[in-house]
Amino acid sequence: MRGPGTASPVRYAAVAGELLAIATTAAHAAGELLVERFRAPRTGVGTKSSSTDMVTDADRASEERILNEILRVRPDDAVLGEETGEARGSSGLRWIVDPLDGTTNFVYGIPQWAVSVACEDEHGPLVGVVHDPVRGETFSAARGAGATRDGNPIRVGGLDDLSRALLATGYGYLADERVAAAAMLPAILGRVRDVRRAGAASLDLAWTACGRVDGYFEVPIAHWDVAAGVLLVAEAGGQVASLEPLGRSGSGMVAAGPGIFEDLRALVEAALAGSRRARGAG
């Protein structure tokens, strides 16, 4: 997946403001719905790609609320929603929606989940919002206009020593790929401060963007999990890059501040190559 594009930020200034307002309104509306459901018994719990990849009525209701908010004012845009899939458009813009990122945490009552809404053009993410209704935090970014938390500018951490880095990571839903991703850890854990696995990639990236962690890596990871978060990190002065797939679920992502990014990327790519070799994946 390409990172945020290099097209002139000036060209998008006007439309980006409107798109960011739409994304924020939609994410907040979904957040209100999810907080109510978080306090109630879970309903409609099913599974998708594996027996551990859960989806609930809350995921579906949140996505319906978000898409209604967006398409009411932008009916010609395309959308990619985690639960409803692709819907083509004619405007050249596409909304990427994870209506409830951290579904497993949500089902278990663990307060680490978020709503992620991004809008992208041919250059990649144009605006992105990650809303954490539990903490009442909204992370936002527009291409070329910086990143904020609740309207206040945020920056990635200034660390330049990887051995002192606190990293976030996660694992997919297929057991063989989880094992392969875990096989990367021995090459990583001894070279950094520590690793946290909190369970919502969009928050891992938002926390990287504001320096609450120093970096993030995960393979595989879905586009809807990271579409808003990669823009947050880039607009907060960080760097992002895709990672080669571990298996059939697709590519991964690495992100960090500029002081450690290249060292982290090299470390993770070497660990990933070792895990792929061990699996006979080349």
Residues found near ligand LIP in the complex (CB under 6 A): 98, 101-104, 170-173, 199-201, 218, 225
**Nearby residues of 241 by Cβ (< 8 Å), 6 or more positions away:** 3, 253, 254, 255, 265
Residue reference for tokens 């070799």:
277
Q: How far is the CB of 142 from ligand LIP (least distance, A)?
A: 23
* CB of 60 or CB of 74, closer to ligand LIP: 60
- Whether 119 and 96 have beta carbons less than 8 Å apart is answered as yes
Q: How far is the CB of 157 from ligand LIP (least distance, A)?
A: 20
* CB of 101 or CB of 120, closer to ligand LIP: 101
Q: How far is the CB of 276 from ligand LIP (least distance, A)?
A: 19
* CB of 23 or CB of 222, closer to ligand LIP: 222
Q: How far is the CB of 187 from ligand LIP (least distance, A)?
A: 19
Q: How far is the CB of 19 from ligand LIP (least distance, A)?
A: 22
Cα separation, 181 vs 210, in Å, equals 26
Cα separation, 282 vs 274, in Å, equals 9
* CB of 16 or CB of 240, closer to ligand LIP: 240
Residue 281 carries which side chain, given as an amino acid letter? A
Position closest to ligand LIP via CB: 170
Phi, psi of 261 (to 5 degrees): -55, -50
- Whether 69 and 22 have beta carbons less than 8 Å apart is answered as yes
* CB of 102 or CB of 238, closer to ligand LIP: 102
